[in-house]
Structure 1
Amino acid sequence: MNSHADQTIAGLKLGAQLAEAYLQQIHQRHVAPKPSALTELAALDCELPEQPTRPSDTLSLLDRAGSPATVATTGGRFFGLVVGGALPATVGSRVLNAAWDQLATTQDCSPVALQLERTAARWLLDLLRLPAHASVGYVTGTTMGNFTCLAAARHRQLQKLGWDVEQHGLYGAPPLRVIASEEIHVTVTKVLSLLGLGKQNVLSIETDSNGAMRADKLPELGPDCIVLTQAGNVNSGAIDPIGRIAERAHAADAWVHVDGAFGLWARVNPELNAMTRGIELADSWVTDAHKWLNTPYDCGVAICRHSSAIHAAMSTVAPYFTSDSHVAPKDMVPELSRSARAMDVWAALHSLGREGLGDLIQRCCRHAQMAAHSLRSMGFDIVNDVVLNQVVVSHPTDHHQLAKIAEIVQRSGEAWFGVTHWKQRDAFRLSFSSWATTDEDLERLLNAIQLAARQLGLK
């Protein structure tokens, strides 16, 4: 076995064997790693070898010291951070993608990467019922998706005010007003900082009891405005009244952006249509494929109605624009060099189909409703309206114990979820996002919570 291909195939086979062994025990193991596993991580903190190491030895060390120290997010009992487990087809596509090692930059670099991007884009716009002419860019996640779309918004709104931000920067530029929900996600404020728009320059708009922006509280808008909305409050799952907001904003020539990291996927479920009505009227949208679409990580999508604005903000060539089909991926997102991320999106959508994706969304929402009902019967308070896949749980007599419940459950290995603070109350948050979660997994979660509550003397 001397050829480069043979060496790579040997590494692939061993990696597949180790991954298979890992996945075979994922449903039986602790979700959080055992404390003993963490001590083994010291084996990875070794000195850099002076001489080459056999690939098999490198992979074996990674598996021996690393696999036990993972959090089992790919299983069915992880309920934190709106994290889905990778679908079978996307695990395979990620491996094949690594073997292809494609540079998704231009048509010449990888014809297949561009074909997958264009087809996945067409499917996404159809499923999410967004304008068919919108641009679709593949980024690492909604943080960079927000960066991409808000860079386009900054370009277009300043252009309306007679300023070319790409050529002249922000020195001396007309000020822009950013209007956002008081429930704005921290990553969006980070993006505003990166774009030079400032975290403290945001006008915060009051939300209703479930965390959705109140459209009646919007200020007078104009072409100097960018309005940031949410489809899926990270705590409650609430979706802003984006249709009403967009109608008012467009009458004033303002830009409306939708941070739809997970909530945008509600568009594929007919039962949730009323919540998402009018989202298609916005100017830009972002979502994570690695959340509710259940692809592996580093897979987000930036969608923009105004392709020319995206191109002007992101292009590495002269800022002219012809049509979507002639624009290279490198000129629609921040990175010049990146992997063929659309491959995972294509594989997820192709394997699920329209019906399968709808069923996944519906099943997660059903599990959220079931969990809320059971936890109420145990004496807990459900402090949000369970409109999607998020359940925020507190306690009527001692909400300060919620963090201890989460800690006990995590330590038991039965499940993983995190804590939050919602509407002046300590709480823990359950996110139902994984294709792998079963009714049995839900039962194990609820039993673990009940045992923890009894241990703490909560009734």
Structure 2
Amino acid sequence: MEAHTSGASRPPGAVPAELFVRTAEIAVKWLDSLDHRPVAASATLDELRSRLGGPLPVGPVDPMMVVEDLARAAEPGLVAMPSGRYFGFVIGGGLPAAVAADWLTSVWDQCPGFYACGPAASVVEEVTGTWLAVLLGLPVEASFAFVTGCQTAHLTGLAAARHHVLDAVGWDVEELGLSGSPPIRVLVGARRHVSVDRALRFLGIGRASLRVVPVDGSGRIQVPRLRQELAGTGTPTIVCAQAGEVNSGAFDDLDDVADAVAGTGAWLHVDGAYGLWVAASPALRHLVRGVERADSWAFDAHKWLNVPYDSGLAFCAHPASHRAAMTATAEYLVQGGPGQPRDAMDWTPAFSRRARGFAVYAALRSLGQQGVADLVERSCAHARTFADGLASVPGCAVLNEVVVNQVLFRFADDRTTDAILRRVVDSGEAWLSGTTVDGRRAIRLSVTNWQTSDNDITRALDAFRTAAAEM
């Protein structure tokens, strides 16, 4: 690719308005294409490397050409994740207000690590954190952190847990580290998400410290077995429960889990990556009854709230432990001050970071409480419709009770299941992911996108009927 220098003469500080207008045109064209374009990417790996690769230009290239070339080269390799027919990996789209606010976030380029760097960004996070606590039924006095996603939210909540349970036995982990510390054991369900284990590993808590509690056929932790594990020990303990299993959508009985943990001194952490959002729905919040009794919570905004990637949140019922695990100070930093501003670096693992609160604020304000509830309930209704429709697809069996937005199903055998999934994805009509459950291949559909319509569900079902008939 040759270097073009037509943009090099622009005076320093000049705003390239035409570049931003052109970029908006490209973005709108992409969004307008979602209903008729294939959901899957069409380019191969080699094609993308050829289109996007080559040597770095020696001189500057005109920004307009850079953006147009990038859009043209990347387009065949884009998956239509914002489409209403993308049903993979519990991934939402982007609400218009959230996408627009995210564009402004990039233009404003604030760094809300601490208040002095971005006062508006800091206050937006403060306001949004309070809104979320009320919406999801969490303690209003809970501390919170805006992070990259549920993985980092687990890291944050479990770091607070590590501090808390070790402090209770007189060990200062921030000062002394883990070498020589009292052992920590972590009780987890057999169908927990892998990001929990990964966060614990980052915190120096290895697999040998995990005690795996059996689950039922849907993936719910067996509370009587949990009680047995909790009985008769003074070992610092963390319990990890789950609101929304990744395949079946099943919820642990959080009230029973909290009863089992009560009085033991253990810390209860809830993985609510997508499932915690049902708390916003009067019709579904019974699924998370007792969730407010936990000590920490981790969840995503880029799933069911439909804000652009990346966006996760951690909440903690023990702000002192949360802050002790996260805070950092240095002589050159400008922290605190009149009015007691909130310095986000006291609560997050990040120092410099993106001002994620703007997009979350915009999403919540554009939807309101009722809009969030409607989005969640509509998604679950679409999932039930899809599951009901699978009854007319020859050889298909639904494997889970469809309690929220997840449908788990398979065909006669592993080969047929994988082949039908491949045909549907290759057709471009829908994108779903495969999984393995109890040693057998299955397909999982997740309805998480605000744009998913009745027609999208019909098209996806028709694609499976066609693929099954071809097999």
TM-score range, shorter chain: over 0.9
In the other structure, the counterpart of 2:405 is: 389
SS in 2 for 1:144: helix
Q: Which runs of 4+ in 1 moved over 6 A?
A: none
Tell me how far apart the structure 1 counterparts of residues 363 and 87 of structure 2 sit (CA, whole Å).
21
Find the residue that maps to 1:270 and give its secondary structure: coil
Q: Does 1:191 align with 2:194?
A: no
Describe the shift of the 1:144–1:40 C-alpha distance in structure 2 as closer, same or farther (beyond 3 A).
Answer: closer
Range with bigger deviation, 58-67 or 212-221: 212-221
Alignment of 1:275-294 (within 5 A): 275-294=287-306
What is the CA-CA distance between 1:242 and the residue it aligns to?
1.3
The amino acid of 1:382's aligned partner reads: V
Cα shift at 1:400: 3.4
Distance 2:377 2:252 in 1: 20
Once the two structures are superposed, residues 183-223 of structure 1 have per-residue CA deviations (whole angstroms, 9 ceiling, x without a partner) of 11111111111111102321111111211111111112556
Residue of 141, 147, 160 corresponding to 1:152: 160
Per-residue deviation at 1:377?
2.8
Aligned ranges 1:369-380 → 2 under 5 Å? 369-379=384-394, 380=396
1:101-112 to structure 2, matched below 5 A, reads 101-112=109-120
Are residue 345 (structure 1) and residue 360 (structure 2) matched?
yes
- TM-superposed CA distance for 1:5, in Å, is 4.8
Q: Does 1:443 align with 2:458?
A: yes
Contact 1:257 1:285 in 2 (8 A): yes
State the Cα distance separating 1:168 from its structure 2 match: 0.6
Structure 1 residue 108: Cα displacement: 1.3
The alpha-carbon deviation at position 326 of structure 1 amounts to: 4.6
What SS does the corresponding residue of 1:430 show, helix, strand or coil?
Answer: strand
The answer to whether the aligner puts 1:50 opposite 2:62 as a matched pair is no
CA 1:369–1:339 in 2, change beyond 3 Å: closer, same or farther?
A: same
Q: Work out the CA distance in 2 between the residues paired with 1:437 and 1:298.
A: 21
Alignment identity in percent?
Answer: 40
Question: What is residue 215 of structure 2 aligned with on the other side?
Answer: 207
RMSD, aligned CA: 1.9
- Aligned counterpart in structure 1 of residue 421 of structure 2, from 406, 431, 456: 406
Q: Is the CA contact 1:160–1:223 (under 8 Å) kept in the aligned structure 2?
A: no
Following TM superposition, by how much is the alpha carbon of 1:315 offset from its aligned partner in structure 2, in angstroms? Answer: 0.5
Is the 2:143–2:319 contact (alpha carbons within 8 Å) kept by the matching residues of 1?
A: yes
Structure 1 counterpart of 2:67, from 59, 62, 72 = 59
Q: Give the secondary structure class of the aligned counterpart of 1:402.
A: helix
Report the Cα offset of residue 244 of structure 1. 1.4
Given candidates 227, 230, 239, the residue that maps to 1:220 is 230
Q: Return the alpha-carbon distance in structure 2 between the equivalents of residues 357 and 330 of structure 1.
A: 29
* Corresponding residue pairs, total: 453
Residue pairs, 1:103-142, within 5 angstroms: 103-142=111-150
Task: Quote the residue 2:19 is aligned against.
Answer: 11
Aligned equivalents of 1:56, 1:284: Cα separation in 2:
46
Return the alpha-carbon distance in structure 1 between the equivalents of residues 266 and 351 of structure 2. Answer: 30
Does structure 2 retain, via aligned residues, the 8 Å contact 1:104–1:114? Answer: yes
Q: Work out the CA distance in 2 between the residues paired with 1:402 and 1:426.
A: 7
- The Cα shift of 1:9 comes to 2.7
Find the aligned partners of 1:321 and 1:192 in 2 and give their Cα distance: 31
Q: CA deviation at 1:38?
A: 6.6
CA deviation vs aligned residue, 1:249-269 (integer Å, no higher than 9, x gap)? 121111000010000001011
CA shift, 1:321, in A, is 11
Q: Unpaired segments of 5 or more residues in structure 2? A: 1-8
For residue 39 of structure 1, what is the amino acid of its counterpart?
E
Describe how 1:409-420 pairs up with structure 2 within 5 A.
409-420=424-435
Query: Deviations for 1:104-127, whole angstroms, at most 9, x for unmatched residues?
Result: 112211110011101100110000
Paired position in structure 1 for 2:322: 310
Alignment correspondent of 1:25: 33
SS of 1:274's equivalent in the other structure is: helix
Partners of 2:321 and 2:152 in 1: CA distance? 16
Q: SS in structure 1 opposite 2:60? A: coil
Unpaired runs of 5+ in structure 1?
none
Give the drift of 1:40.
4.8
Structure 2: how far apart are the matches of 1:350 and 1:296?
15
Q: Among residues 369, 373, 396, which one is paired with 1:358 in the alignment? A: 373
> What CA distance in whole angstroms lies between the structure 2 residues aligned with 1:448 and 1:267?
33
Contact 2:398 2:407 in 1 (8 A): yes
In 1: Cα distance, 2:336 partner to 2:161 partner: 17
Check conservation: 2:393, 2:464, Cα contact below 8 A.
no
Separation in 2, partners of 1:36, 1:242: 45
Alpha-carbon shift at residue 11 of structure 1 (Å): 2.7
Q: SS at the partner of 2:110? A: coil
Q: Structure 1 38/5 Cα, relative in aligned 2: closer, same or farther at 3 Å?
A: farther
Instruction: Tell me by how many angstroms 1:406 deviates.
Output: 1.2
Which whole-Å deviations, capped at 9, do the CAs of 1:37-61 have from their partners, x for residues lacking one? Answer: 9725412112111101110111011
Q: Secondary structure at the match of 2:269?
A: strand
The CA distance in 1 between the partners of 2:336 and 2:202, in whole Å, is 26
**TM-score normalised by L of structure 2:** 0.93
8 Å contact from structure 2 (residues 316, 322) kept in 1: yes
Secondary structure of 1:228's counterpart equals strand
